[in-house]
Amino acid sequence: MQQHTLAGEITQIGVGLHSGVSTQVRILPAEAGSGRYFVRVDLLDLPIIPAQVAAVSHTVLSTQLGKGEVAVRTVEHLLAALSGMGVDNARIEIDGPEVPLLDGSASVWTANIAQVGLVSQPVNNQVTKVITEPIWVYQGDAFVCALPAPETRFSYGIDFDLPAIGNQWHSWSVTTELKKASASFAAQIAPARTFGLLHQIEHLQKTGLIKGGSLDNALVCGPEGWLNPPLRFANEPVRHKILDLVGDLSLLGTFPIAHFLAYKASHNLHIQLAQRILDFGF
């Protein structure tokens, strides 16, 4: 069984969605078995924050990881890109509190990863875990679950009153061949951008959120339709929800073989499912 890390260094600078703060991210190769982890290089003791379920400290409109008083927010798009492209081990150096939103998708990250390439790392005793019984988390009519399946698949449904979004479903499967899986992720899921609802923006801004949001890095939908078309896919919003789910479940380290199915879920429910999976011993 092999793991993979980057064959070179990646650097990006951008503004965080919620903080509005500009940060620089450097992603470096890491040793086999070290996993994906963040390093706050702007702080004196260079604290390390592992990209693991146990480190999740906040899940309101993004996923935040923390260790003590130190945190890094909106990690889901970058982590989705790393896991979706097959990067098991990576040192992510960041000089601020939030990962840059860039264009609102994971396309910049996947393009960077494809450009530098991967190197294989032999490791011992790596066993792919298999979900053998349904595991559910729900709140009202929203739910996310892991179902026994012959291959790893992510399926998502959303339902909004706004006609431009409405009810959407999408499904994406992870092939066992790394190059095909990463190409599929880069083409079908990574380009889907984050989206927001026009009537919620003022409230979110008043509560100190989305300070870095703009029509350049997020799709915005109102009663009359999209404020900043065109969409990259007809169902771009639900594909972005799969992107978020992949990023959140990447905190498990590796994806168990299962069908991950979600409907109207959230970062909070995603993380609850990840914790339940760990509680079941997977």
CATH no. for residue 114? 3.30.230.20
CB 260 within 8 A of CB 282: no
pLDDT band at 123; cut points 50, 70, 90: confident
DSSP run (H or E) holding 154: strand 152-159
Is 1 a residue whose pLDDT tops 70?
no
Among 66, 93, 121, the domain-final residue is 121
Q: What pLDDT sits at residue 281?
A: 83
Give CA separation, 78 vs 35, 82, 83, 270, in Å.
Answer: 14, 6, 9, 16
- Alpha-carbon distance of 221 to 228, in angstroms, equals 8
On whether residue 142 sits in a domain, the answer given is yes
- The per-residue pLDDT for range 15-35, each reduced to its tens digit, is 999 999 999 999 999 999 999
Check whether residue 100 and residue 151 sit in a common domain: no
Tell me: is residue 240 an annotated ligand-binding position.
yes
Domain count, the chain: 2
On whether residue 176 sits in a domain, the answer given is yes
On whether residue 126 sits in a domain, the answer given is no
267 is catalytic: yes
pTM assigned to the model: 0.96
- The per-residue pLDDT for range 133-172, each reduced to its tens digit, is 999 999 999 999 999 999 999 999 999 999 999 999 999 9
Active-site entry in 4, 18, 259, 267: 267
- The phi, psi pair for 19, rounded to 5°, reads -80, -30
Check whether residue 177 and residue 229 sit in a common domain: yes
Average pLDDT for residues 245-262, to the nearest whole number? Answer: 97
On whether residue 66 sits in a domain, the answer given is yes
Check whether residue 23 and residue 50 sit in a common domain: yes
Q: Residue 24: is it exposed, middle or buried by C-beta count within 10 angstroms (0-12/13-18/19+)?
A: middle
Q: What pLDDT sits at residue 127?
A: 76
Average pLDDT, the chain: 95
Least confident of 186-195, 198-207, 240-249: 198-207
User: Structural domain of residue 95, as residue ranges?
Assistant: 3-121
On whether residue 233 sits in a domain, the answer given is yes
Share above pLDDT 70 across residues of the chain, in percent, rounded to a whole number: 99
Check whether residue 151 and residue 227 sit in a common domain: yes
Among 121, 152, 170, the domain-final residue is 121
Is 8 a residue whose pLDDT tops 70?
yes
Check whether residue 254 and residue 164 sit in a common domain: yes
pLDDT band at 215; cut points 50, 70, 90: very high
- The per-residue pLDDT for range 105-122, each reduced to its tens digit, is 999 999 999 999 999 998
CB 87 within 8 A of CB 5: yes
Is 209 a residue whose pLDDT tops 90?
no
Check whether residue 159 and residue 108 sit in a common domain: no
Is 125 a residue whose pLDDT tops 60?
no
Q: Which is more confidently placed, 124 or 230?
A: 230
pLDDT band at 260; cut points 50, 70, 90: very high
Check whether residue 101 and residue 199 sit in a common domain: no
Check whether residue 166 and residue 57 sit in a common domain: no
In the block, tokens 């998502």 appear at 156
On whether residue 55 sits in a domain, the answer given is yes
Average pLDDT for residues 67-90, to the nearest whole number? Answer: 97
On whether residue 130 sits in a domain, the answer given is no
Check whether residue 117 and residue 141 sit in a common domain: no
Average pLDDT for residues 203-217, to the nearest whole number? Answer: 88
Is 124 a residue whose pLDDT tops 80?
no
On whether residue 129 sits in a domain, the answer given is no
Handedness of CA 191, 218, 197, 224 (dihedral sign): negative
Q: What pLDDT sits at residue 176?
A: 81
Q: What is the CATH number of the domain that holds 268?
A: 3.30.1700.10
